[in-house]
Amino acid sequence: MEDFESSTINSRSSSSIQTEMIAEFIGKLSPIMSEIRGCVEAAEVPALEKAIASLESDYDRAKAAVESPPKNIESLIQNLGRSLGLTLFASHEAPLSNKDKVEALCREMMNVRFESSSWEFANEAVETEFETEEETGEETGDETGEKTGEIVEETGDLTVDEAILELNYGREEGFKNALLVLDGFLKDGMISSEMILDEEVVRILCSRLASCKGNDRLIIIRMLRYIAQHNHHHKEKMKDLEFLSELVKSLARDAEEQKEAVGLLLCLCDDDAGIIRRIGRIQGCIVMLVAISNLDDEEEASHHSRMLLNIMSTNTQHALHMAEAGYFKPLITYLKQGSEMSKVLMASAVSRLKLTDQNKAALGEQGAIEPLVSMFKEGNLEAKLSALNALESISNLNSNIQRLIDSGMVSSLLQLLFSVTSVLMTLREPASAILAKVAQSETILVKHDVAQQMLSLLNLSSPVIQTHLLEALNNIASHPAASRVRKRMKENGAIPLLLQLVTERDARIRNGALNLIHSLSESTQELTLELDQSHIHTIANIVLTTKSDCEKAAALGILANLPINENRATEILKQANILPFLASTTTTTSTPSSVMLSESIASFLVRFTNPSDKRLQHYAAEHGIFPLLIKLLTSTSQCAKSKAALSLSQLSQNTTNMTKSRKLKWLCLPPSSDSFCKVHDRYCTMKGTFCLIKAGAINPLVQILQGEERGADEAVLGCLSTLLRDEIWESGCRHLVEESVVHPIIRVAGCGSFKAQEKALWMLERIFRVESHRDEYGESAENVLIEVAQNGDPMLAPAVAKVLAQLQLLQPQSSYF
């Protein structure tokens, strides 16, 4: 058994010690009895008169026990404590002093425990207690049935009054039993509303909630919810902030307790603005209610949470807190139906909140965009500004962008940007920012002349607006279906207009202008008519001086788009020493800007590998183009790999004409044996003869073919095919076999693009001219070739037939030829 402070007495103690204990309690109780009798005479409270009569009966039995201690002494003292507690309850209308001391004595007597040496002793004591109660039942009237004037049923060994007393003063075990008893009485309808009020049941339950755990806490909340639902007057006692704060904690506990807590809060909030405001201010309450509302729709807790949130949303501050927690229904309702001030408040909140993409999508789906657009079109200046800021914060999702376009917002934004009304100037920046985001959608292309209108605004705007307009124009120009738009922009003088901005001090404007010029110059052959020498010098200088990969990539892209046969431009670029600068530049990251830079470098280098200009090729080789190209072969960009392979192919085309015969006798110093190339059967070097083998390019080229991406296959095979030219095809085939290139070529022949398949089949036809190669790889190529012949592009049939003929699987006179 548990130990209880100073009240635990060993059952084996002598009778004299027990007698002293009873006498001590009687001594403490005697002056209290006298005071209570006086209160009864003064107050004339019927309930108190009945309670004191019961107490006097138990008091007399205790005094008698001093002379002859019974075996059930523990029950005797506990009953005396209960009677004292009931009297204390009934005395709330009487002027009883020292109530704290009386409560302490009551608690001490009720918690008396005697240690028993055996269960038989305890059972004997209980039996004796029941016998004693039966014997004295007639003498004390209704002591165990009607102690406070109410008719009470018994459950176990506790009456309602005793259960209430245990709730208030009892310790853990007694409290648990009393709680279960009282819960049963409530469910059975055996406790009247008056008794709940008189005995302060609500106050007791509320005060004990914080100290309870687990199932006890659940029972208390369920009882309070039952009481509140059946009598609205009891709600007043549940509105204490301390209790409400404790109740809110239950929202984060297990599902059953969560359900009861939500139900009780919903019951308390009914038509009471004060309690609604108080609950909403409790930290974490709204967040937890939102989390519960997102659970299964069929759950009672979820349904009640949404009802409670709906009630609480009548307070605008609560609606804002709900939006912060990701529950936007009240906010959108205010945007649609609220006052002008409420609409501005909610729109401002949208722009202020840190929204995830999921939040932005929810706002769009639940209908936030339409009322915001209406605010912008019809509201006053404050409403327009708050609406624009809100729309800007949610307009980076494609779904929301489409809603904005469908609402006719683009025309309104452009109209605002053209406006010269000073009052509206503050709206132009957020308007241009929204346009920049809306331009991400291809749907904007159906709005004719939008790009041209934006271009005309460039020189009439502030730097911030220019930045947004350039972003919008770049988004429009980057769409695959925007070829007509780009053409019209060039025809209307976009490039000369943009060239004026490449010298701007603002890096964002400069970068935006360069990117747009790059996009517009990709499909034009007249770029040199637009760019004079000063412009080329300016752009080359940007390449050499800027620290921004994005800016450098755009500038190099423009220079790469200059016509290759434009010798004047090539000389300017050589004089600027851009190639040596790029050779010394290291780009190891795979960020979008560094990938774009790799692509621009690879495109730029194609100019310096023009096979018709050997002097330029020598210049490129001397200034480090080979290591740079091989490095680009390992880029994450298929475009960069393809352009690098093309440059290597152009260099390799001239290798055969530039190699030195091994039979030359006139050299002062004979070439090193390491420089002899078995493919070209001559002495080769990387810088001198542009030999792919000596440059170490074969392995990275093969790795591209072995990879999963197929974007660079055509260029890579074109480069490797330079080793199979007529004069060196046998040695070239032998080298490709040694480098394990045949299987990757067979693979591309089966699944590459049309051009890549065509290159692969041409190479396989040459490789399979050699019998040993046919024996080694013919079987693995057979199924692939048959599949291509049966299901591939009909235009490949002649090339497939030639390979099959080499493998002796098709007669030379076949119709495939």
What order do you get walking across the sheet with 660-661 strand by strand?
660-661, 682-683, 676-677
Phi, psi (rounded to 5 degrees) for 114: -105, 130
| Joined tokens for residue 117 | 């040496």
Q: Which domains does the chain have, with CATH numbers?
A: 1-144 (no CATH), 525-662+672-740 (1.25.10.10), 741-817 (no CATH)
Say what the pLDDT of residue 303 is.
92
Mean pLDDT computed over 11-26 = 65
pLDDT at 3 over 50: no
| Joined tokens for residue 133 | 């109660």
Site of tokens 């006298």:
34
Q: Is the distance from CB of 262 to CB of 249 less than 8 angstroms?
A: no
Say what the pLDDT of residue 142 is.
41
Give 42's contacts (C-beta < 8 A, 6+ positions apart). Answer: 94, 95
The string of DSSP letters for 752-769 reads S-HHHHHHHHHHHHHHTT
Say what the pLDDT of residue 525 is.
66
pLDDT at 559 over 50: yes
Say what the pLDDT of residue 128 is.
40
Mean pLDDT computed over 188-214 = 77
Phi, psi (rounded to 5 degrees) for 7: -105, 0
The string of DSSP letters for 5-31 reads TTTEEETTS-HHHHHHHHHHHHHHHHH
pLDDT at 676 over 90: no
Say what the pLDDT of residue 16 is.
64
pLDDT digits (tens, 9 = 90+) for 576-613: 999 999 998 766 677 889 999 999 999 999 999 999 99
Site of tokens 């067979």:
746
If one compares 342 and 169, the residue with the highest pLDDT of the two is 342
If one compares 737 and 104, the residue with the highest pLDDT of the two is 737
Phi, psi (rounded to 5 degrees) for 158: -120, 135
Contacts 24+ apart (CB under 8 A), 805-809: 806/764, 806/765, 806/768, 806/769, 806/774, 807/768, 807/774, 807/778, 807/781, 807/782, 809/782, 809/785
For the chain, give the mean pLDDT: 83
Say what the pLDDT of residue 10 is.
45
Say what the pLDDT of residue 194 is.
72
CA separation for the pair 18, 73 (Å, rounded): 8
pLDDT at 707 over 60: yes
If one compares 442 and 528, the residue with the highest pLDDT of the two is 442
The string of DSSP letters for 330-347 reads HHHHHHHHS-HHHHHHHH
Instruction: Looking at mean pLDDT, say which of 105-114, 239-248, 536-545 comes out highest.
Output: 536-545
Q: Is the dihedral of CA 162, 164, 166, 169 positive or negative?
A: negative
Amino acid 82 reads R
Q: Cα–Cα distances in Å, from 179 out to 170, 173, 215?
A: 10, 10, 10
CA separation for the pair 716, 499 (Å, rounded): 36
> pLDDT class for 198, splitting at 50, 70, 90?
low
The pLDDT > 90 percentage for the chain reads 53
Phi, psi (rounded to 5 degrees) for 162: -65, -35
pLDDT digits (tens, 9 = 90+) for 269-299: 876 788 899 999 999 999 999 999 988 767 8
pLDDT at 307 over 70: yes
Measure the CA dihedral 375/376/378/382, to 10°.
80
pLDDT at 41 over 70: no
Say what the pLDDT of residue 330 is.
96
Say what the pLDDT of residue 475 is.
94
pLDDT at 197 over 60: yes
CA separation for the pair 593, 582 (Å, rounded): 16
> pLDDT class for 205, splitting at 50, 70, 90?
confident
Site of tokens 């809100």:
390
Say what the pLDDT of residue 814 is.
55
Say what the pLDDT of residue 76 is.
75
CA separation for the pair 515, 554 (Å, rounded): 5
Q: Give the 3-state secondary structure of 31-77.
A: HHHHHHHHHHHHHCCHHHHHHHHHHHHHHHHHHHHHHCCCCCHHHHH
> pLDDT class for 663, splitting at 50, 70, 90?
very low
pLDDT at 504 over 60: yes
- CA 415 to the chain's CA centroid: 37
pLDDT digits (tens, 9 = 90+) for 711-766: 999 999 999 999 999 999 999 999 999 999 999 999 999 998 999 999 999 999 99
Say what the pLDDT of residue 764 is.
96
**SS3 label, residue 548:** coil
Q: Is the distance from CB of 293 to CB of 306 less than 8 angstroms?
A: yes
- If one counts every other C-beta atom within 10 angstroms of the C-beta of residue 546, the result is 18
> pLDDT class for 4, splitting at 50, 70, 90?
very low
CA separation for the pair 543, 580 (Å, rounded): 12
For residues 765-778, one letter each, b for 16 or more C-beta atoms within 10 angstroms of the residue's C-beta and e for the rest, the string is bbbbebeebbeebb
pLDDT digits (tens, 9 = 90+) for 449-485: 899 999 999 988 899 999 999 999 999 999 989 989 9
Query: Phi/psi zone of residue 794: left (φ > 0), alpha (ψ -120 to 50 degrees), beta?
Result: alpha
Mean pLDDT computed over 100-115 = 71
